[in-house]
């Protein structure tokens, strides 16, 4: 029996939806980096972009991704340190706020 | 339930919920909506950035020089977008060993 939900259960459909979702994430990141690097590299409203500016934009993206990887790599360590501090008794003021 | 089957076929897309053309249509509509959202985001951000850059003191009207500035600014913004898209896309391809899906960028000509 076919139904609306069978459309979504189709594996081909799911694959294509996943691919579209990934594409959307990619584009969202491009939009974010473009805005950020436009400001960072002080791109000018000229007839032609300077070579140093296009280099700056490329570097901006690469270094952002490097920093992001670095942060992700350090995250397990950071999270375990947060867990350690939570094992201590919370101050009474915290109980007032959350209680 | 019959009610849910009816709602899909009554939208005029054919013989029920499971046909290939239905699926294709859904995907196409999603793709179009995504592309529209993207254009909208690009227009909103570039308008803001170019207004900041080209019209520092908004007057009674937009001067010719300001209009030219905005036009060039938009070109440079799209160029920036294309550089970012290329660099980011290459990076993803490198890091996933050439595999992984959905990393093809849209570039604006």
DSSP per-residue codes, A33-89: HHHHHHHHTT---SSS--HHHHHHHHHHHHHHHHHHHHHHHHHHHHHHHHHHHHTSP
User: Are B4 and A3 inside 8 Å of each other by CB?
Assistant: yes
- Chain A: closest CA distance from residue B4 (Å): 7
Q: What percent of chain B has pLDDT over 90?
A: 62
pTM of the shown model? 0.75
Instruction: Provide the pLDDT for residue B96.
Output: 84
Distance CA A72, CA A78 (A): 10
Q: For the segment A19-40, what is each residue's pLDDT rounded down to a tens digit?
A: 999 999 999 999 999 999 999 9
Question: For chain A, what is the largest distance between any 2 Cα atoms, rounded to a whole number of angstroms?
Answer: 63
B contacts of A61 (beta carbons < 8 Å): 83-84, 87-88, 91
User: Are B105 and A27 inside 8 Å of each other by CB?
Assistant: yes
B contacts of A11 (beta carbons < 8 Å): none
Counting every residue, how long is chain B?
Answer: 109
Instruction: Provide the pLDDT for residue B88.
Output: 98
User: Are A31 and B42 inside 8 Å of each other by CB?
Assistant: yes
Q: What percent of chain A has pLDDT over 90?
A: 59
Distances from the Cα of B98 to the Cαs of A17, A58, A67, B95, B101, in angstroms? Answer: 21, 20, 22, 7, 9
Instruction: Provide the pLDDT for residue A44.
Output: 97
Distance CA A38, CA A55 (A): 12
B16 Cβ under 8 Å from any chain A Cβ: yes
Instruction: Provide the pLDDT for residue B109.
Output: 62
Instruction: Provide the pLDDT for residue B15.
Output: 43
Instruction: Provide the pLDDT for residue B106.
Output: 65
Question: How is chain B split into domains, by residue range?
Answer: 28-109
- Find the CB nearest A7 among B7, B23, B92: B23
Question: How is chain A split into domains, by residue range?
Answer: 53-87
Q: Report the sign of the C-alpha dihedral through residues A34, A36, A37, A38, in that order.
A: positive
A87 confidence band (pLDDT: 50, 70, 90) = low
Residues of chain B with pLDDT under 50: 1-17, 99-103
Fold (CATH) for B28-109: Helix Hairpins (1.10.287)
Which contacts of B17-20 are long-range, i.e. CB under 8 A and separated by 24 or more positions?
A: B17/A2, B17/A3, B17/A4, B17/A5, B17/A6, B17/A7, B18/A2, B18/A3, B18/A6, B18/A7, B18/A10
Residue A95 has pLDDT above 70, yes or no: no
Instruction: Provide the pLDDT for residue B95.
Output: 87
DSSP B17-60: S--HHHHHHHHHHHHHHHHHHHHHHHHHHHHHHHHHHH-SS--S
Distance CA B44, CA B49 (A): 9
B91 Cβ under 8 Å from any chain A Cβ: yes
């Amino acid at each position: 029996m076919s139904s609306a939900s069978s459309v979504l259960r189709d594996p081909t459909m799911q694959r294509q939806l996943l691919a579209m979702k990934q594409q959307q994430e990619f584009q969202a990141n491009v939009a974010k980096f473009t805005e950020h690097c436009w400001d960072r590299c002080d791109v000018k409203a000229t007839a032609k972009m300077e070579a140093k500016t296009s280099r700056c934009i490329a570097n901006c993206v690469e270094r952002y991704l490097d920093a992001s990887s670095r942060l992700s790599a350090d995250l397990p360590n950071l999270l375990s340190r947060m867990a350690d501090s939570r094992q201590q008794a919370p101050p009474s003021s915290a109980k007032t706020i959350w209680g | 339930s019959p009610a849910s089957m009816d709602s899909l076929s009554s939208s005029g897309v054919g013989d029920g919920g499971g046909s290939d053309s239905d699926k294709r249509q859904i995907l196409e509509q999603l793709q179009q909506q995504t592309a529209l959202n993207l254009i909208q985001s690009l227009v909103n951000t570039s308008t803001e950035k170019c207004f900041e850059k080209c019209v520092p003191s908004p007057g009674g009207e937009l001067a010719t020089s300001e209009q030219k500035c905005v036009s060039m600014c938009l070109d440079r913004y799209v160029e920036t977008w294309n550089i970012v898209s290329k660099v980011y896309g290459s990076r993803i391809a490198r890091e996933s060993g050439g595999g992984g899906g959905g990393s093809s960028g849209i570039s604006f000509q």
